[in-house]
Amino acid sequence: MFTLNGNIDPQYRTSGQVAKMLRISVSTLKRWLEDQPDLATNRTNSSGWRLFTDDEVKKIHEFQKFRRKLGKSFKPSTLRPIDE
């Protein structure tokens, strides 16, 4: 966990730490944040790592539970008919 100046601060977590806590990949986390930008602010440290507060992690976790209730979804562009 890093602050904006690079020192350790328990207030912030990196994308990797959040992904590990939620048991998802970093790419899934990034995709969710692109689709739902209101889940977290775009805060980074001096190295460019995205930082999250505990409240933002809770919001992302609630979003994860919501998605699980809906079930798996696919974009229409990724679905292809099965050749018979």
User: Are 57 and 16 in contact, with CB atoms under 8 Å apart?
Assistant: no
Nearest to 14 by CA among 34, 35, 40, 38: 40
Q: pTM for this one? A: 0.72
Quick check: 42 and 18 in contact, CB under 8 A? no
Q: What pLDDT sits at residue 3?
A: 46
Identify the bridge partners of residue 52 per DSSP, sorted by sequence position: 13
Q: In whole angstroms, what is the distance from residue 45 CA to residue 51 CA?
A: 7
pLDDT tens, residue by residue, 16-65: 999 999 999 999 999 999 999 999 999 998 899 999 999 999 999 999 99
